[in-house]
Structure 1
Amino acid sequence: MFDTLRDLPPLPGVGYKPQHFAALLDAPGAVGWLEIHAENYMGDGGRPLAQLRAPAERFPVSVHGVGLSIGGAAPLDRDHLARLAHLTGWLKPARFSEHLAWSTHDGAFLNDLLPLPYTDATLTRVCDHIGRVQEALGRQMLLENPSSYLAFAESTWEEPAFLAEIARRSGCGLLLDLNNVFVSAVNLGLSAEAYLDAFALEAVGEIHLGGHDEDSDEHGAPLLIDSHGRAVADPVWTLLDRVLDRVGPRPVLIEWDTDVPDWPVLEAEAARAGRAPARAAAKAGGAAPSACGLTPEVFSGPKKTGGLRA
């Protein structure tokens, strides 16, 4: 049995960037927590880890990984997982999250988050990998919905149901990236609203917002790229309001990882995110929100289920 995660506040967070170090500590504004990209801090000592200590002591932290290849066909990299366990043991973050994707093949790391077919075989593999991660870290993890640019003909599950079943079988929570929802809906010709209506919102422990680039494919159809390089688009803010109207305040992260702006620009985006939960709380009659969106419990391994689905 593992200790439950300490909660993230239902406030806006930002991804930690060293260039914002002084401003973040002196005038954090609306920011209530920080996201740390795990692979940037998995070395042994050095200035990056030393500089991380002050903000990590002041703010609740969520650690976000990109290199575990949760959906990969190969076993998890034991060395990578051990370094990740060392980092989370030192930081003691409120959350750890990873992606529903794969990024390794034949021992090579491909430096991208690649898509998966949603089949029963994929489901079993992903749940097994999540179980191994949760055992190694001694904590529940969150799994993030991907941004999609294609769909597999062999998929037998819709993405929201697939993610819900992963959460049910493995005991993990979910990270709802609303920019990914919007990007995928435009690229695949789907409804973002219908996706959210089918999503297991009760399992959501974090919500992420970010910017995207607009392009077109060879036929002239819109093609959106999840770039994290600009302000959050208005349709994504609308999706946030839709979700919070249903579930109440949640920790909301602003992601801005390329063409990173000066601190006042990022803080203004965080402040806008902070106003959305307040509107949701007022709509709900001022009821006290859950701090994390998940039922507090100790993690004792994957949940047992019978079968996959009706």
Structure 2
Amino acid sequence: MMADVIHIDGRDPTRDLQFPAYPVSGLSGTSLKHEHLPAIEAEPQVGYFEVHAENYMTSGGPPHRVLERIRRDFPLSLHGVCMSIGGPQPIDRLHLERFRRLVERYEPALVSEHLAWSTHQEVFFNDLLPLPYNETTLAHVARHIDEVQQAIGRPILLENPSSYVAFSDTTMSEIDFIRAVARRSGCGLLLDVNNVAVSAVNQGFSPVQYLSEFPLELVGEIHLAGHAPQVDDEGGLLLIDSHDRAVADEVWDLYEKVIGSRGPAPTLIEWDSDLPEWSVLRSEAAAAQRILDKYAVATERARALG
């Protein structure tokens, strides 16, 4: 368990901020895509933006100039996709240092990574690969999260995966594993509701039951995205976490159940390929914001009634 870190949505109080410390609680946001920048500057109408850390691991250039402009006006979520936290190998020290510098440079409101692995020895796989849930894996995942958190001086949010296979050497449920990782490392959780919907179909479990058991009190951010239906080798339905279309109706239904149980949480619309016009992505964020606002009002009323 790491110690002496700041809150997930806080900043180091000993360091002067170079950007405004915008609040992010109860806001919806979207992935930041440079193709949308002119439209964003004309009509932003979202609460915050998220970027993949690996797209900014250089010292300068046009991507950083764009991100600096956005960060002056909006809170930022920094989402890592290549740390390979779930892998058995040590964390790549150069990659971690570049990640640390980004956190220091942009002072993001939220910092997150995936419960997955993507490297083996000197080989990098451009994918987020699954892992078995057992004590051995738990030990090195918690250790890797601790390394990252010690480096950046704050807790991260760990995202639940989308899954397509199960391992024979798994000895605990995904939820028990995630809860144990959070307890050992002190990290928070990023709940990807679309990943739950995808995994539920592919693995044959109830997404409602999964979410009823998920430690919602540890969730610091929620992701929503689109998925693509396909057919597996046996003719059954297979869902792919594709991030290339609008959020499905069943995912919206699950999301509203989560917000109804947990209360509002920062919610990010992910859309990474086959990009639509900015107005489409903005409308997805607006739909999430309506749900957040609805339950924020309900929460305030409940508090007022004591």
Q: Give 5+ residue unaligned stretches, structure 1.
A: 289-310
Q: Which residue of 1 aligns with 2:219?
A: 204
Aligned to 1:236: 251
- Which of 149, 165, 183 is the equivalent residue of 2:164? 149
Give the drift of 1:287: 5.3
SS of the residue 2:301 aligns to: coil
TM-score by length of 2: 0.91
Deviations 1:217-243 (A, max 9, x none): 011110000000000000000001100
**Matches for 1:1-310 after TM superposition, within 5 Å:** 1-4=4-7, 5-6=9-10, 7-29=23-45, 31-286=46-301
Tell me if the contact between 1:161 and 1:198 (Cα under 8 Å) persists in the aligned partners: no
Task: Please report how far the alpha carbon of residue 279 of structure 1 lies from its aligned counterpart in structure 2 after TM superposition.
Answer: 2.2
The alpha carbon displacement at 1:89 in A equals 0.6
Counterpart CA distance in 2 for 1:209 and 1:227 is: 11
SS of the aligned residue for 1:181 comes to helix
CA-based RMSD of the aligned residues comes to 1.2
2:50 & 2:206 partners in 1: Cα distance?
29
**Secondary structure in structure 2 of the residue aligned to 1:207:** strand
Amino acid at match of 2:275: V
Indicate the SS of the match to 1:224: strand
| Aligned partner letter, 2:171 | T
How far apart, in 2, do the equivalents of 1:199 and 1:2 lie? Answer: 24
The residue matched to 1:110 in structure 2 has which SS? Answer: strand
In the TM superposition, residue 285 of structure 1 has moved relative to its aligned partner by 5.0
Q: What SS does structure 2 have at the residue aligned with 1:45? A: coil
Cα distance in 2, alignment partners of residues 286 and 187 from structure 1: 39
5+ residue gaps, structure 2, are 11-22
Percent identity of equivalent pairs: 52
Counterpart residue identity of residue 195, structure 2? N
CA offsets 1:80-139 (integer angstroms, 9 cap, x no match): 000111111100101110000000001211111000000000000000000000000111
Q: What TM-score do the two structures reach when normalised by structure 1?
A: 0.90
